[in-house]
Amino acid sequence: MRRFEGKVALVTAAAQGIGRAVVRRIVAEGGAVVVTDLRQDAVAALAGELGADQAIGIKVDVTSRADIDAAVTAAVGRFGRLDLVVNNAGGCIVTSMPEETSAEDWHRQLDFTLISAARCIQAAIPHLVRTRGNVVTISSVNGISAFGNVEYAAAKAGQIAMSQNYAARYGPLGVRFNVVAPGTVRTPNWDSQPGALEQLTSMYPLGRVGEPEDIAAAVAFLGSDDAAWITGHTLPVEGGVLTGPSPIDLRPPDTLHRRSIRPSADPRTRNRVIP
């Protein structure tokens, strides 16, 4: 597929993990990409690998509006247009108990994860109106359901609400806003926690954690014309974790009902449900 032929995307936090996979997917489908990250050497290396006709690498701190403005200007200056912004930057940077989190840490978490995405949208929106482009923001299942990390979850939920409101506001101008909400994804962020991904696997009905390419595929769909009539939507890409707890009995369904009610010799408890 060449769904991004002639299109230009800007991806934040693109040096590794999900962002890197998104960049590769867009380029593979014919698009050009502005690769941004705090790590200048990493974005330069990735852009160099992809080729000057397909990518440029720019160091960007998403907490700096000046950095974001410069990246958007570079995108339009180099490629002549901007069609897609992928807000991938953000993460859980507050680890205190929520009852003890300071106002400063709340602001720091929101600035890094929620307000950074707003900055990118503000900088890009004039160009997206011209191209009738779109924004895909990487949120999390934490923004949909209670998986802990209260401050991070609030920031991720804010991304969803913000995207819905932008979708309503800019829909009449042809600009779309959608969200991808990943579950646990195998990225370098987990490298310092040996065995954690294996433990988390048991939460997922599909029997594995996600890979960056799983998220990139969803971004490519929502960011392309295949999703031309989809806006204000949140697409969970999460291996089924939002369906509820994984079943503890995996025998065929037709045998489960025979187990759920066990006859008892005692008439007072004859129909007691046995878990």
Active-site positions?
152
Residues in the chain: 275
From edge to edge, which strands make up the β-sheet containing 134-138?
Answer: 55-59, 32-37, 8-11, 84-87, 134-138, 176-182, 234-237
Distances (CA, A) of 264 to 80, 177, 269, 271, 273: 76, 57, 6, 7, 10
Torsion of CA 45, 46, 50, 52, to 10 degrees: -60
Rg of the chain taking only CA atoms, in angstroms: 22
d(CA 152, CA 140): 9
